[in-house]
Amino acid sequence: MANKETKKTEHPDSLYASAEKIYPRAVSGLFAMWRSIGVVILLGIYYLAPWLEWADRQAILFDLPNRKFHVFGLIFWPQDFFYFAVLLIIAAFALFFFTAIAGRLWCGYACPQTVWTEVFMWIARKVEGDRPKQIKLDKMPWNAYKIRIKATKHFLWLALAAYTGFTFVGYFTPIDELTLRIFDLDLGPWEWFWIVFYSFATWGNAGFMREQVCIYMCPYARFQSAMFDNDTLIISYNEERGEPRGSRKRNEDPATKNLGSCIDCTLCVQVCPTGIDIRNGLQYQCIACSACIDVCDGVMDKMGYERGLIKYTTENARQGKVVSLFRPRIIVYASALLLMTIGLTYAIATRIPLEVDIIRDRTRLFNETDTGLIENIYSMQIINKDEQVHQYQITASGINGMKMIIKSIDIEVAAGEVLDVPLRLQVDPYDLKKRSTEVMLSVVSTDNPDIRMIEATRFLGPTGRR
Ligand code: SF4
Ligand code: SF4
* pLDDT at residue 118, rounded to an integer: 95
What is the model's pLDDT at position 77?
85
Rounded to the nearest whole angstrom, what is the distance from the C-alpha of residue 267 to the centroid of ligand 1?
6
Is 316 exposed, middle or buried, given 0-12, 13-18 or 19+ CB atoms closer than 10 A? middle
Distance CA 165, CA 175 (A): 12
d(CA 26, CA 9): 29
Beta-sheet pairing, 310-313 with 354-360? unpaired
Polymer length of the chain: 466
Atom of ligand 1 nearest to the CA of 245: 8
**Alpha-carbon distances, residue 181 vs 144, 159, 200, 353, 466 (angstroms):** 37, 18, 21, 33, 68
pLDDT of residue 17: 62
CA of 291, closest atom in ligand 2: 7
What is the gyration radius of the CA atoms in the chain, in angstroms? 32
Q: What is the pLDDT along the chain (466 residues), one digit of tens a residue?
A: 455 554 444 555 666 666 678 999 999 999 999 999 999 999 999 999 999 998 888 999 999 888 889 999 888 888 888 999 999 999 999 998 999 998 888 999 999 999 999 999 999 999 999 999 999 999 999 999 999 999 999 999 999 999 999 999 999 999 999 999 998 888 889 999 999 999 999 999 999 989 889 888 888 877 777 888 889 999 999 999 999 999 998 888 888 889 999 999 999 999 999 999 999 988 888 999 999 999 999 999 999 999 999 999 998 888 888 878 888 889 999 999 999 999 999 999 998 989 999 998 888 888 899 999 999 999 999 999 887 899 999 999 999 899 999 988 789 999 888 899 999 999 999 988 888 999 999 999 998 999 999 999 999 988 645 4
Strand 436-445 with 390-397, pairing: antiparallel
Q: Cα(first)–Cα(last) distance of the chain, in Å?
A: 96
Separation between Cα atoms, residue 429 and residue 463, nearest integer Å: 9
Alpha carbons 293 and 306: distance in angstroms, whole number: 13
Architecture of the domain defined by 354-460? Sandwich (2.60)
Distance CA 68, CA 353 (A): 13
Each domain of the chain, given as residue ranges in start order, spans 1-51+103-320, 354-460
Chain-centre distance of CA 153, in angstroms?
28
Q: Select from 286, 290, 293 the residue to mutate for testing ligand 2; criterion: most ligand atoms less than 8 Å from CB.
A: 286
Ligand 2 site residues, Cβ closer than 6 angstroms: 235, 271-274, 276, 278, 286-292
**pLDDT at residue number 18:** 67
Nearest CA to ligand 2 atom 2: 292
Cβ 238 under 6 angstroms from ligand 1? no
Closest ligand (CA of 247): 1
Ligand 2 mean position, distance from CA 406 (Å): 69
Q: What is the 3-state secondary structure (H, E, C) of the chain?
A: CCCEECCCCCCCCCCCCCCCEECCCCCCCHHHHHHHHHHHHHHHHHHHHHHCEECCEECEEEECCCCEEEECCEEECHHHHHHHHHHHHHHHHHHHHHHHHHCCHHHHHHCHHHHHHHHHHHHHHHHHCCHHHHHHHHHCCCCHHHHHHHHHHHHHHHHHHHHHHHHHHHCCCCHHHHHHHHHCCCCCHHHHHHHHHHHHHHHHHHHHHCHHHHHHHCHHHHHHHHHCCCCCCEEEECHHHHCCCCCCCCCCCHHHHCCCCCCCCCHHHHCCCCCCCHHHCCCCCCCCCCHHHHHHHHHHHHHCCCCCCEEEECHHHHCCCCCCCCCHHHHHHHHHHHHHHHHHHHHHHCCCCEEEEEEECCCCCCEECCCCCEEEEEEEEEEECCCCCEEEEEEEECCCCCEEEECCCEEEECCCCEEEEEEEEEECHHHCCCCEEEEEEEEEECCCCCCEEEEEEEEECCCCCC
Closest C-alpha to 394, from 386, 384, 379, 404 = 404
- Asked if 3 contacts 270 with a C-beta cutoff of 8 angstroms, the reply is yes
CA angle at residue 237 from 236 to 243, to 5 degrees?
160
pLDDT value for 170: 96
Cβ of 271 closer than 6 Å to ligand 1, yes or no, is: no
Return phi, psi of residue 402, to 5°: -70, 135
